[in-house]
Amino acid sequence: MEKTLIKKIIRNPQEYINKRLKLNGWVKTVRSSKAFGFIELNDGSIFTNLQVVFEEGLSNFSEISKLLISSSLEVEGILVESPGAKQPFELKAEKIEILGTSSQDYPLQKKRHSFEFLRSMAHLRPRTNTFSAVFRVRSIVSYAIHKFFQERGFVYVHTPLITGSDAEGAGEMFRVSTLDLANLPKGEKGSIDFSQDFFGKETNLTVSGQLNVETYCMAFNRVYTFGPTFRAENSNTPRHAAEFWMVEPEIAFADLQDNMALAEDMLKYVINYVLENAPEEMEFFNKFIDKTLFNRLKNIVDSDFAQITYTEAIDLLKKVNDKFSYPVEWGCDLQTEHERYLTEKVFQKPVFVINYPKDIKAFYMRLNEDDNTVAAMDLLVPGVGEIIGGSQREERLDVLEKRMEDLGLNKEDYWWYLEIRKYGGTKHTGYGLGLERLIMYLTGMTNIRDVISFPRTPKNAEF
């Protein structure tokens, strides 16, 4: 007999009602009395459980009554309308085969656990409601991102995870090496001789695919990367991880305004897609994780994102300087408290801050007419803070070289990056979206460690 997925039953009950079905799943909870009992069964196909009713006529009734949480079953029975209030239908079991028993020391209970506790068992937490919802949404969000870009003709580029350019400037890097740590080859001045290493030079894990993807942008026009990124920063916050996923689109013949339009379209598209394709999960988040979630997301889909220049933002923040522990001044980077004030108090929706002072931004960002600011943009969202960072890139070779000289960067290290300006360079622009931050924003989860299956953070690489 063919097996039926619970998702199909719930999406299309009239097709299955009063029919004999066979299904597999795991026990979420058992409530039994003398002559009958209830099992909530989840088969992983959908967030929702199916209630199975079993009666003492079954040959293994007493074993079933004592089933421990997370035991795996094969159940055969008839789908009937349920007299209970909390579910429209249930499976009246005719045969229940126990495929895998659980153990009495199974740590997950049918009550709420703290996320801290669940982090200590990353191998079991996907079985809980919250993590089941988070990781199905993560999968759906990832698909929606691909769908968005593919529908618009973007080419998906796989940029390398191992990089030879050691000065991408976006943070501390993890070294990649096959050298014997206990016996490092030394050069003339006592420094490590990387010519004997696997790649014959110093290599690291990438902190961004941007420089590489820019080269493909100059061939395909509209491209994006979507993959893991590594930062060895000793950051201990709910928003940072050593390994995370980033989406980096790059578009040619386009400027900063086009870039922001793309970012806004993408966010709205993903939100709509997730609301439509993960209704049970999103309902759960709105009910148990963040009661303002639906209002917040609808507010975003329905409104135009705000836009403000860095200089305007500073003027605005200066008027309320007494609210901050760090007063603002033109030339300073915005502190978290300033960003939150802008997006949560002033605009109460996502806001792009653009045209930052060149001295606090990366070398590749395009210098504005004023010679003082660059065409950068950060998208700030309430609750999470910076979710996207991007810029129009400096396409003028002489200006770019001048910038690198001013910053003391070695041009030889970037020879191929500079050559794409030399051969038919054109204005282009792109941004980086932190996938985990987007998922936090979409689910109301407040710690990045709870939206990555096996999070890597300082002093933590178990599992």
CA distance 135 to 439: 9
* Residue 211 near RNA by CB under 7 A: no
* Residue 36 near RNA by CB under 7 A: yes
Kindly tell me which of 29 and 311 has the beta carbon lying closer to RNA: 29
What's the closest the beta carbon of residue 78 comes to RNA, in angstroms?
11
Using the contact rule CB under 7 A, the part of the chain among 125-133, 346-354, 402-410, 441-449 near RNA is 441-449
Figure out which of the listed residues 48, 82, 142, 299 binds RNA, where binding follows CB under 7 A. Answer: 82
- Burial grade of 37 (CB within 10 A; 0-12, 13-18, 19 or more): buried
- Residue 421 contacts residue 397 (beta carbons within 8 Å): yes
Listed in sequence order, the residues at least 6 apart from 57 whose beta carbon sits closer than 8 Å to its beta carbon are none
* Residue 69 near RNA by CB under 7 A: yes
Radius of gyration of the chain (CA): 27
Using the contact rule CB under 7 A, the part of the chain among 182-190, 217-225, 228-236, 403-411 near RNA is 228-236
Give the interface size with RNA as a residue count (CB under 7 A): 75
CA distance 233 to 452: 18
Nearest alpha-carbon partner for 282 in 382, 421, 140: 140
Using the contact rule CB under 7 A, the part of the chain among 133-141, 266-274, 285-293, 454-462 near RNA is 454-462
Site string for RNA, 314-353 (x = CB under 7 A): ------------x------x-xxx----------------
Kindly tell me which of 277 and 386 has the beta carbon lying closer to RNA: 386
What's the closest the beta carbon of residue 15 comes to RNA, in angstroms?
21
CA dihedral in degrees (23, 26, 32, 37; nearest 10)?
-10
Using alpha carbons, list the distances in angstroms from residue 384 to 349, 379, 402, 445, 446. 12, 11, 36, 10, 8
Footprint on residues 280-319 left by RNA (CB under 7 A): none
Paired with 381 in beta bridges are 385
Using the contact rule CB under 7 A, the part of the chain among 32-40, 128-136, 183-191, 280-288 near RNA is 32-40
Sign of CA dihedral 377, 382, 385, 388: negative
Figure out which of the listed residues 239, 268, 358, 403 binds RNA, where binding follows CB under 7 A. Answer: 239
CA distance 363 to 107: 51
Kindly tell me which of 43 and 436 has the beta carbon lying closer to RNA: 436
What's the closest the beta carbon of residue 431 comes to RNA, in angstroms?
8
Footprint on residues 360-379 left by RNA (CB under 7 A): 378
Footprint on residues 376-405 left by RNA (CB under 7 A): 378, 385-389
Figure out which of the listed residues 114, 178, 183, 191 binds RNA, where binding follows CB under 7 A. Answer: 114
CA distance 175 to 152: 36
